Amino acid sequence: VMWMWGGFALDNATLMRFFSLHFILPFAILGLSGVHLLFLHQTGSNNPLGLNSNFDKITFHPYFTLKDILGGIIMMTALMGICFYYPWALGDPENFIPANPMLTPIHI
């Protein structure tokens, strides 16, 4: 545990290590996923029967690329619709209670 913390206690070194890990890890996963897709499209997936299944393949670029772009546009439109037209729909109801500086809430 000490090598992960960077010392005997949680300190600035621990925060820097975890921040670096959380910043670099998504890019590493994205790169490895890209390499995986590259090799998968170059060689194809494994066929345990040994049969040639080229007759039912669909090319990736025009069909699946447009399908993914359309799905992304639909999701972004839905998210932007919620954000712009109903901005407080998913918020906490306690955010609308006016603050009273003379009274400390019970749960604190």
Tens digit of each residue's pLDDT (9 = 90 or more) over 35-68: 998 887 777 676 666 666 666 677 778 888 899 9
Report H helices in the chain: 2-5, 12-43, 66-85
Average pLDDT value for the chain: 85
Query: Which percentage of the chain shows pLDDT scores above 90?
Result: 37
**What is the pTM (predicted TM-score) of this model?**
0.47
Cα–Cα distance between 97 and 10 in angstroms, integer? 37
Tens digit of each residue's pLDDT (9 = 90 or more) over 6-15: 778 888 888 8
Cα–Cα distance between 31 and 38 in angstroms, integer? 11
Averaged pLDDT for residues 90-101: 87
Cα–Cα distance between 17 and 5 in angstroms, integer? 8
Averaged pLDDT for residues 15-39: 93
Cα–Cα distance between 102 and 74 in angstroms, integer? 47
Which tokens in the block code for residue 5?
């913390």
